Amino acid sequence: MSQALNRTNYDAPAPAVRLVHVGLGAFHRAHQVWYTEKSDPSWGYASFTGRSAGVADALKPQDGLYTLVTRSGDGDSPEVITSLVEAQPATNLERFKELVASEEVAVITLTVTEAGYHLAEDGSLNTSSPDVISDLAALKAGDPESLDTAAGRIIAGLQARRAAGLGGIAVMSCDNVAENGPLTQASVCGMAREVDPELAEWIEEEVTFPSTSIDRITPATTDELIADVEQQTGFADQAPVVTEPFASWVIEGGFPAGRPEWERAGAIFVDDIEQFERRKLWLLNGSHSLMAYYGQLKGYDTVAEAINDDDVRARVNQLWDEAAHHLTADGLDVPGYREQLIERFENPRIRHNLAQIAIDGGTKQRMRAVPIMKAELAAGRDGAGAALSIASWVEYILRADEIQDARAAELDQARKDADPVKALVAALDEDLANNEQALALIRSINGDLKELS
């Protein structure tokens, strides 16, 4: 008979909370918590959900413990992770503030997806966002009970830290966004300036915003995984996570209050992360998006199914060839990275659903296919591989019964335009939509895609 998974049954004393996270989900537990466990398990995480309390509700009875299943063609390797000490709902703002204002806490990390930063196209805070408007009003009124945005919660925490007379802290994004450090800084400081200019000045002087490039494929948890874990381990775990053997974490920036020695678990610290970010975004994430839209249009459900289609694989390689023209920094090893990606995509034991990857393409494609195509156009080439990815996204949106995207209302309006292809391309990038050569290519490819059923 299986046992409940908790610190008493598993004999796992809780480490001190020294790290706080916003966006508690499977990837965070397969990546940042795992790296912390492997580098220094004396550093504990308190992690807060993005909005829904579901994951926190599942983890609380387990004292934050969960099983991480590393899945490869050779089988499963389950291990219980003990570095997550508290799993909290987003609504527990008082606990968040208390932790950030404690001397022990040194780093805040985030996984809130691209849309969670609430930035306008020019990179400034999107003050027309309903969530931003609501949070600004609550913060200006003082002592809010809850806040809707990650930046709003971080500001509330930093207000409490400053009031406690403590020094700076690192706020580090772990989202798949280019230049995620400056992006996080723009979101947090932009909101802080609206709330309290003196607080904004303190943040700019005391708080750092490291940039990261993160990588580990982590599919959603299923009932089948829960049953497998119970059979394999003898523990009834309601919140296991499945992931692949590969993991990568590249970090640039300082940590004024200290950090775990993540490099002991394989993290790499660099002086210039830009090309590493691009390698990840353009090669891994870029091909994921291409497969998410083109693969689904061809009838596939998972990455493994799509990459084993010769045509899809050829399209992926075409995109990679285009991206490689602009990935030339020392240490990138683009050919080796591409080989690793194919091996990872082919992993028969990782069910990475294309529909999951396809969500929020209105933001993701701005970071993935669009910059590749624009770089190719600037170099005098047509960027046909990236154009296919964009055209596939356009067709996917045109066919969708319901658009799964944080920008759904805007994209729904665009697809109802008299020229929906141009309107949707413009939703990704105005310059691209106004480039007659680029738009003609995307339009032509989109016409061909309409033949796919």
pLDDT for res 212: 96
pLDDT for res 74: 85
The dihedrals phi and psi of 174, each to the nearest 5 degrees, come to -125, 35
Classify residue 298 as exposed, middle or buried by CB count within 10 Å of its CB (0-12, 13-18, 19+). middle
77 pairs with which residues across the strands? 70
Question: What confidence category does residue 369 fall into, taking pLDDT thresholds of 50, 70 and 90?
Answer: very high
357 Cβ contact partners less than 8 Å away, ≥ 6 residues apart: 288, 289, 291, 292, 303
Q: Is the pLDDT of residue 295 over 80?
A: yes
Mean pLDDT of 323-351: 93
Contact 303, 286 (CB under 8 A): no
Mean pLDDT of 87-106: 97
pLDDT for res 16: 97
Mean pLDDT of 106-126: 92
The pair of structure tokens assigned to 179 is 């230049």
211-215 β-sheet, strand order:
211-215, 248-252, 268-269
Q: What is the pLDDT of residues 200-237, one digit of tens each?
A: 999 999 999 999 999 998 988 999 999 999 999 999 99
Mean pLDDT of 322-351: 93
d(CA 176, CA 287): 13
As a dihedral over the C-alpha atoms of residue 96, residue 21, residue 407, residue 209, rounded to 10 degrees, the angle is: 100
Q: Is the pLDDT of residue 29 over 80?
A: yes
The dihedrals phi and psi of 11, each to the nearest 5 degrees, come to 60, 60
Residue 386 amino acid letter: A
Q: Whole-model pTM above 0.75? A: yes
Contact 365, 289 (CB under 8 A): yes
Give the SS3 label for residue 379.
Answer: coil
Q: What is the pLDDT of residues 296-313, one digit of tens each?
A: 999 999 999 999 999 999
d(CA 179, CA 362): 18
* Percent of the chain at pLDDT exceeding 90: 90
Classify residue 265 as exposed, middle or buried by CB count within 10 Å of its CB (0-12, 13-18, 19+). middle
Of the CA atoms within 13 Å of residue 219, those in its CB half-sphere come to 26
Of residues 387 and 332, which shows the higher confidence score?
387
d(CA 392, CA 387): 8
The pair of structure tokens assigned to 58 is 């599942």
Q: Which residue from 10, 154, 26 is spatially nearest to 79, judged by alpha carbons?
A: 10
pLDDT for res 349: 84
Dihedral of alpha carbons 307, 346, 245, 7, sign: positive
Cα–Cα separations (whole angstroms), residue 360 to 45, 329, 365, 403, 411: 28, 30, 9, 9, 11
Contact 251, 268 (CB under 8 A): yes
Mean pLDDT of 89-93: 95
Question: What confidence category does residue 350 fall into, taking pLDDT thresholds of 50, 70 and 90?
Answer: confident
Q: Is the pLDDT of residue 453 over 80?
A: no
Mean pLDDT of 418-424: 98
Chain-centre distance for alpha carbon 184: 13
